[in-house]
Amino acid sequence: MPTALITGASRGVGAAIARELSPTYDLLLGGRPSPQLDALATSIDGATTFPVELTDHDEVAAETETISELDVLVHSAGIGGISTVEETDAQVWRAMFEVNVIAVAELTRQLLPALRAAGGHVVIINSGSGLRAKAGWSAYSASKFAVRAFAEALREEEPLLRVTSIFPGRIDTDMQRDLVAMEGGDYDASKFLRPETVARAVRNAIETPADGDPQDVVLRPRPH
C-alpha cells in the first residue's frame, strides 16, 4: 500500500485523518511520544509511530533519512492562542511561527526527495484564520497566512507534486475548548466542525483523480 505521514496524529484532527486513511495507506503517525500515539498505532493495522519533536530539526533530519518514498504528507500539528497585539510578546510570536510555519517548512524540505520519488501529495491543515485575520488572533492568523504562502510557493516550485491547503472553520477539539475558555464563553460542540468531517475532506482531496489539482478547500460549520 502507499504510505502517508500525518503530524499531530495523537489526537483531534490528526487522529481522525489517520483513521480515515487507514484502510488504504500504511501510516506513519507523527507526534510527541505519548500513550495516545502508541495506542492509535496499535489500533490501526500497518501503522507505526513517528515520535519526533518537530521543532528539533536535527531529529527531524535523522528520522526522515530512512524514508525513500512518501505518497502523502499531512501537516496537522499546530498550536493556537488568543491575545491582543498589546499582550502578545516576542516569545509568543516565535513559538507560533516555530510550530505552525517553520516546522512545516523544514519537515517538507527534508521529505522532498521521498515525495518526488512517489509523485506525492502535501496536505496542510490551515485555518479560516489563514484567510481572514480578526482581533485577538494576530500571531496565530499571521502564522496561518505564512503557511498559506509556503504552500503556494511549494506548488509553484514542485509542479510534479500536488499541494492542498485545507481551511476549516473552528473544529471540536481539545484546543478549541481551551480557546473558548480564553474567550470566556460556554462550550457547545454542535457549533463546530467535527474532526471526522475535516478528515473526510482530506481524503477526498487525496483521492481526486490525477488530472485534477485540489489546491484550496474551505470548510465552514453549517448553521443550525
Q: Residue 191: which pLDDT band, with cuts at 50, 70 and 90?
A: confident
The residue ranges of DSSP E strands in the chain, in sequence order, are 3-6, 26-30, 47-50, 72-75, 121-125, 162-168, 216-219
Q: Rounded CA gap, 29 and 64, in Å?
A: 13
Q: Rounded CA gap, 138 and 134, in Å?
A: 7
Whether residue 30 is predicted with pLDDT greater than 80 in this model: the reply is: yes
Q: Which residues pair with 69 in a beta bridge?
A: none
| CA distances in angstroms from 118 to 69, 94, 121, 166, 209, listed in the order given | 6, 33, 9, 22, 16
Q: Global pTM?
A: 0.94
Q: What percent of the chain has pLDDT over 70?
A: 100
What does the DSSP assignment read for 155-179? HHH-TTSEEEEEEE--BSSHHHHHH
Domain 3-219 homologous superfamily, CATH: NAD(P)-binding Rossmann-like Domain (3.40.50.720)
Q: Which residue has better confidence, 74 or 180?
A: 74
Length of the chain: 224
Q: Where are the domains of the chain?
A: 3-219
**Interval 55-68 mean pLDDT:** 96
Does residue 25 have an active-site annotation?
Answer: no
Whether residue 172 is predicted with pLDDT greater than 90 in this model: the reply is: no
The SS3 of residue 81 is: coil
Question: pLDDT tens digits, residue range 142-155?
Answer: 999 999 999 999 99
Whether residue 15 is predicted with pLDDT greater than 90 in this model: the reply is: yes
Catalytic residue from among 25, 50, 137, 140: 140
